[in-house]
Amino acid sequence: MVTHPADATADAEDGNDPSIVALVLAGGTGSRLYPASRSTRPKQFLPLLGERTLLERTVDRVGFADHVVVSTRPSFADGVRDRVGADVDEVIVEPAGKDTGPALAYATHRVAETYGDDVVVLALPSDHHVGSPERFATTMRRGARVAREERRLVAFGVEPTRPDTGYGYIEPGTDHGAFADLAAFHEKPDARTAKRYVDEGYLWNAGLFAWTPRAFRVAARDSPLAPLLTALDEERVDEGFAAVDPISVDYAVMERVSDAAVVPLEVEWDDLGSWDAMQRLLPADDDGNVARTGAGNGREREGEGTETDVDRGEEALFVDSAENVVVSDGAHVSLVGVDGLAVVAWGDRVLVVPVEEAQRVREVVSRLKETGQF
C-alpha cells in the first residue's frame, strides 16, 4: 500500500508545483449507457447527475490547473465548444476517433507545441464522478510533482471500496512515500480475483495519468504509437493517424514502460461506465430504488465537501419493487412487482436489463451498430 507524507497537502501548495495542463478527453461515446448515449450524443454531454453535463463538471473540477484543454473527435467538436468553449483554453480536435492512445499522443504533442516540453499533462476522462474536488486537486498536484521530478509516467489508482469486476487494477510495487513503483496492470478480473486484488492492496485503474510531453514521447517511441509520433514530428497528422490502429494508452504505452509510478487517489470515485453506477450515486428510496428523470431540482450530497443537483425521481413509480434503476429524459416510468432492473427511457428508445448484467448493454450496441441504428 502506498503511504503519504504527513505534510502532503502543504507540500502540494508550497509554490514548487509544476505548470499543469489539464487535458480532458471527450472523444468517447460511452456505449454502455445506451440509449441515453448514442453515436451523436456521447455520455459526456449528458446531465446524468444534475443540470450540468458530465463534461462541464469535469472542467469545473480541474480549475486548479494552469491551463485546460479538451481533446475530442471531429463529430463532437461543436458540442464541446458549445458546452465548455468559454471555460477552456483550447479544444483540440483529433483527425479520427482511435481510442485514447492516438488521442493522447496527438494532444500531448499539441500541448508541447503551445506550452513547452516540461509542463505536466494531466490526462483525465470527461465522465467521472469525484466526491471531493479539494482532495482530488491535492492528489493531482502531488502526481504532477512526481511526473516532473521523477521524469516518470504516472498513473493514479483509486483506493477500492469493494471488489469490482468492472474495473482494471494496478499492482503497486516499492513504496516511496508519495508514490509507489507501478509493478503491473491487471485486466478486469472475475469476482474471486477481484476480492484477492482488494485484499492485497491493489488499486483501481482510474484512467487518470500525468506526464511531461518529453517523458511521454520517450516512452511511446517504442510502442504501437511510434508511426504517429514520427508523422507528428514531420507535420503529417492525417498520415500519422492512418498509420496506427485504435488502441488505448494503457496497452500502447503504460503497460510497456518499466519505470511508471502510481499515486493513490483516496476520494469517492466512479467512472459512470454503466447503469449500475446510478445505484451508487443517486439517493434511494426505502426499497433501494433510484431514479433520475429529467433535469435536477433537488440538492443532494456528492461526497465530502460538495453538493450536486439531482432529481429525486418523483416521475417514477415503484409498486412492490426493489433495487431498481430508472433513468429517463422526462417520460414517466412505473415498475410493478420487479426487482433488480435497470429501465432507461431516452428519446425514442427504451432499454430494460438486469442491473447485475448492465455491462451487457455493449452487446445491444454492437448489434445496433451492425445495422446503423446506434
In the chain, count H helices and then E strands. 12, 19
Domains of the chain: 8-270 (3.90.550.10), 277-370 (no CATH)
Beta carbons of 205 and 170 less than 8 angstroms apart: yes
pTM: 0.87
Beta carbons of 62 and 22 less than 8 angstroms apart: yes
Residue-level pLDDT at 254: 96
End-to-end CA distance of the chain: 43
Q: What is the DSSP letter of 74?
A: G
Residue-level pLDDT at 2: 52
Residue-level pLDDT at 51: 87
Residue-level pLDDT at 4: 47
Beta carbons of 274 and 260 less than 8 angstroms apart: no
Residue-level pLDDT at 314: 61
Residue-level pLDDT at 44: 94
Residue-level pLDDT at 202: 97
Residue-level pLDDT at 258: 92
Beta carbons of 31 and 360 less than 8 angstroms apart: no
Regions in the chain scoring below 50 on pLDDT: 4-14, 295-313
Task: Output the average pLDDT for the chain.
Answer: 90
Tell whether omega for the bond before 35 is within 30 degrees of 0, i.e. cis: yes
CA 81/CA 69 separation, integer angstroms: 11
Residue-level pLDDT at 271: 87
pLDDT tens column, 220-268: 999 999 999 999 999 999 999 999 999 999 999 999 999 999 999 989 9
The neighbour count for residue 153, using CB atoms within 10 Å, is 24
Q: Which three cell numbers stand for residue 158?
A: 483509486
